[in-house]
Structure 1
Amino acid sequence: MLHPVILSRGQRCITVYGASVCKNALKQYSNYYKIVSTTGNTKPNQSLILGSLIGKNLQIGCTSIRISVHPRTFYPWSFLSVHSSKRLFTTSRNCASRTCWKCGSDTDPEKELFFCKCGVVQTIAPSITYFRLLDEEVTFDLDTKTLGVVFRKTQKLLHPDMFSSKSKEEQQFAEEQSSLLNKAYQTLLKPLSRAIYMLRLHNVTIDEKDTISDPDFLMDIMTFNEQIDEASCASEFNSIEETIGVAIEMCIKEISQAFKSCNIEDAKSSTIKLRYFTTIQERILNIRRRELG
């Protein structure tokens, strides 16, 4: 079984065989990334892993990378050269170009994301990320106020009222763009959905079967739910809410740090914990809504 190879230069890293790219991993072209760890093992195993990758082109979302040995080194496990043609996790906007359905010209993936220079709304760009749609870098630590400003400004341009007199094609494409933009905003707005989405960008999914094996943590969750069941007044809910709020903030900090250090396993674990605490928080909010009628 071949294991992932972790390559790193400074704070940037990339899991090659696992086909996941960490933030800013491909920020510079033709940089050399030293192997800092593998899943299991010794240099011979590293050589075996790299032997299966050298000369290969790997497609990761919008990113295409080619793996080759640094020509000035003697060992295949020593250094690699990572050549990037399209980048996913950078401020660059190099997603695949499209041809305008109306005028037939190639659209610039950066300047003509929603509209062609001919003025016609475009189809959704292939392999587009939610971050790109909202003009954000791929990071967990988003400024949600700025996110909201960009969302409302862009959504205004794609509003159905702007296309009432346009062709059916334009109305359809505008509706599709607007719908995806709204989904992107709602996903990135909240820490839990944002973390789950970022994990998906690393080919890691979280479903209902994913849980925490820590018995103490699960006991705490059970205790919180029992306290909610037994609560008889608002002050008791306030105490539980305060405790849950602190736990949520701690999870958010853990997730942020995990993504910054490219520790996807820890990011997943903390995201699952955040889901537990968020569920409890939402349960309390629903009880309060019912009480208010």
Structure 2
Amino acid sequence: MLALNSWRISRSSRALLKLRTGRQAVSKAVTCSGHCMSTSFTMKDTWQGSMDFTTRGRDRLHSYNSLPVKSHRSYCIGQAKLSCWSCKQPLEETPAFFCLSCNMVQPPEAETSYFQIMDCDYTFTLDTHKLQRRYLQLQRSLHPDNFSQKSAKEQEYSESQSALVNKAYKTLLKPLSRGLYMLELQGMRIEEGTDSGADSEFLMELMEINEALDEAQSPEQAERIGRDMKEKLAELTEEIDAALLKGELQGAKALLAQMKYYANIEEKVKEKLSGFM
């Protein structure tokens, strides 16, 4: 009987030790997972900078951040940081345009989001004034003319960084290209010249608008169509923003497809008006 009790006590001790070890393993896994997530270049990374947001802004940002990103890179603290190509010191900023130690211009970082490059909130209704300020700031420091007397490598990096900033700025400036880029980050793409997803009634409406524009005999008639397009685009902007906030990517994709058509007509209105001059 004493031996049996000793065996039961020993067995209980081993089970308790195993349980504690399991809990510690789970705790470490959760800690590592949280650590990795906090340092991943996803939508919820440092793209928002150090701005303070209102409660509504934080809720909006949280909604966008909850969407999974198809194109991103993540790493744990144990993974090596990027280093300066010149002085070999670790680069403290992401993205790093210059080394803080030697002030050398750095090459573009792979898979860096345009939102991160332009230090903009990851939102469809981003602040375009802030975007423009950031663009001017970066181009003043990265423009190739500033490196004409520098080494060939610095000239090369300044040209590639400047070109990347230009592309990021142009992509994020307009709602249509911005929305398409946001879908691209989610692994979704709207193919050019495909009408398969368009409603027949919608296509008929577009045909009538185009015909009215072709038949416009005065700048006033063309401007009236242009105002209608601006109103439709404004409405679609709100609907796309709402769809993205809810994570309804297919709905946002369909709305962006409509936006492409209306944006094309808006460009035709500008061409028509230039013809009256």
Question: Same fold by TM (over 0.5)?
Answer: yes
RMSD: 2.0
1:95–1:128 Cα contact (<8 Å) kept: no
2:96 to 89, 100, 113: 113
Structure 1 stretches lacking a partner, 5+ long: 1-70, 72-80
The residue that corresponds to 1:192 in the other structure is 176
Q: Give the partner amino acid of 1:92.
A: T
Distance in 1, matches of 2:150 and 2:41, equals 35
Say if 2:84 is the partner of 1:130.
no
For residue 204 of structure 1, report the CA deviation from its aligned partner: 0.3
1:264 to 245, 249, 260: 249
For residue 91 of structure 1, report the CA deviation from its aligned partner: 4.4
2:46–2:116 Cα contact (<8 Å) kept: no
For residue 99 of structure 1, report the CA deviation from its aligned partner: 2.3
2:223–2:269 Cα contact (<8 Å) kept: no
Say if 2:72 is the partner of 1:88.
no
Say if 2:267 is the partner of 1:282.
yes
- Give runs of aligned pairs for residues 1-293 of structure 1, distance below 5 A: 84=37, 86-92=40-46, 97-110=81-94, 113-117=96-100, 118-211=102-195, 212-292=197-277
Q: Give the partner amino acid of 2:204.
A: M
When structure 1 is superposed on structure 2, of 275-284 and 212-221 the one drifting more is 212-221
Q: Give the partner amino acid of 1:113.
A: A
More helix by share: 2
**Identical amino acids, percent of aligned pairs:** 33
Larger Rg: 2
Q: Give the partner amino acid of 1:213.
A: A
- The number of residues matched between the two structures is 212
Distance in 2, matches of 1:250 and 1:130, equals 25
Higher relative contact order (CA 8 A, sep 6+): 2
SS of residue paired to 2:201:
helix
Distance in 2, matches of 1:114 and 1:213, equals 43
For residue 106 of structure 1, report the CA deviation from its aligned partner: 2.4
2:222–2:272 Cα contact (<8 Å) kept: no
When structure 1 is superposed on structure 2, of 92-101 and 193-202 the one drifting more is 92-101
Distance in 2, matches of 1:239 and 1:141, equals 26
1:95–1:187 Cα change, 3 Å:
farther
2:97–2:108 Cα contact (<8 Å) kept: yes
1:98–1:290 Cα change, 3 Å:
farther
1:181-236 CA distance string (max 9 Å, x none): 01100110000000010000000011114333311111100000110111111221
For residue 291 of structure 1, report the CA deviation from its aligned partner: 2.9
2:108–2:157 Cα contact (<8 Å) kept: yes
Distance in 1, matches of 2:210 and 2:267, equals 12
2:226–2:266 Cα contact (<8 Å) kept: yes
For residue 109 of structure 1, report the CA deviation from its aligned partner: 3.7
State TM-score, norm by structure 2: 0.72
1:121–1:173 Cα contact (<8 Å) kept: yes
2:108–2:161 Cα contact (<8 Å) kept: yes
For residue 95 of structure 1, report the CA deviation from its aligned partner: 7.1
Q: Give the partner amino acid of 1:141.
A: T
2:96–2:106 Cα contact (<8 Å) kept: yes
For residue 164 of structure 1, report the CA deviation from its aligned partner: 1.4
